């Protein structure tokens, strides 16, 4: 009897030893990872496509409502050298935003379009020192940290204008912070010029610069 149990025990041990170690399947792991990636990519792609379709459709319909089509055709052909942007896409810049998320983020062409229109005021969200060194022509200094003090100071100048905030360009969030503060203060026609100071100076558009001290 004892021998039998001993044999069984040996068998058990040998079985345990003989059991294959659960095989790791890196190929399977990578395959499933690729599938998840594909799923995410497909989803992201579809969402992006749906968004672009929406803006495309919006762009198609907006210009037809406020402006007659004849002028819309004449403007770009008559002045080909000036910055001419599509009336449909730029129409949005003159409209009030209902939420902070709706505030348009604009590029250099749209910024120049607004600058030329004369209906916009540029707002420098950088520090006062940087503003004093140089700024976009006609811009007002409202640094992101001094919004509480400076917004009421310029209230009369900001009234009924389209406000375009800018800072150091890509990666700088000061323009967004100032735009949010302006929105909170009750201004609804606020745009964020994301290209900011670097794009404006690269394009050599009008700036006001501090004169170098004479020797």
59 contacts: CB under 8 Å, gap ≥ 6: 86, 88, 89
**Residue 118 gets which letter from DSSP?**
T
**Residue 157 gets which letter from DSSP?**
H
- For another protein, give the closer residue by CB, 8 or 173: 173
Q: CA-CA distances (angstroms) from residue 171 to 2, 37, 47, 131, 176?
A: 79, 27, 24, 19, 11
At closest approach, how far in Å is the CB of 90 from another protein?
Answer: 17
Of the ranges 4-12, 77-85, 149-157, 171-179, which one interacts with another protein (CB under 8 A)? 171-179
Residues 2-41 touching another protein, rule: CB under 8 A, are 25, 28-30, 32-33, 35-37, 39-41
Of the ranges 42-50, 62-70, 74-82, 148-156, which one interacts with another protein (CB under 8 A)? 42-50
Residues 136-165 touching another protein, rule: CB under 8 A, are none
Measured CA to CA, the distance from residue 18 to residue 35 in angstroms comes to 34
Three-state secondary-structure class, residue 96: coil
Question: Which residues form the interface with another protein (CB under 8 A)?
Answer: 25, 28-30, 32-33, 35-37, 39-41, 43-45, 47-48, 101, 105, 170-173, 176, 194
């Amino acid at each position: 009897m004892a021998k039998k149990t001993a044999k069984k025990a040996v068998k058990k041990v040998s079985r345990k030893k003989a059991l294959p170690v659960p095989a790791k399947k890196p190929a399977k792991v990578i395959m499933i990872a690729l599938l998840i990636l594909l799923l995410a990519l497909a989803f992201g792609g579809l969402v992006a496509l749906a968004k672009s379709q929406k803006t495309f459709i919006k762009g198609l319909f907006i210009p037809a409502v406020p402006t007659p089509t004849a002028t819309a055709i004449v403007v770009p052909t008559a002045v080909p050298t000036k910055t001419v942007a599509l009336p449909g896409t730029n129409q949005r810049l003159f409209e009030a935003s209902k939420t902070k998320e709706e505030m348009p983020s604009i590029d250099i062409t749209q910024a120049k379009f607004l600058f030329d229109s004369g209906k916009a005021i540029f707002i420098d969200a950088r520090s006062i020192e940087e503003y004093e060194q140089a700024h976009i022509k006609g811009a007002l200094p409202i640094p992101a940290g001094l919004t509480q003090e400076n917004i009421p100071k310029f209230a009369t100048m900001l009234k009924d204008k389209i406000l375009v905030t800018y800072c150091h360009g890509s990666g700088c969030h000061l323009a967004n912070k100032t735009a949010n503060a302006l929105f909170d203060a009750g201004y609804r026609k606020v745009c964020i010029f994301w290209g900011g100071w670097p794009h404006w100076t690269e394009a050599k558009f009008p700036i006001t610069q501090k004169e170098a001290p004479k020797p």
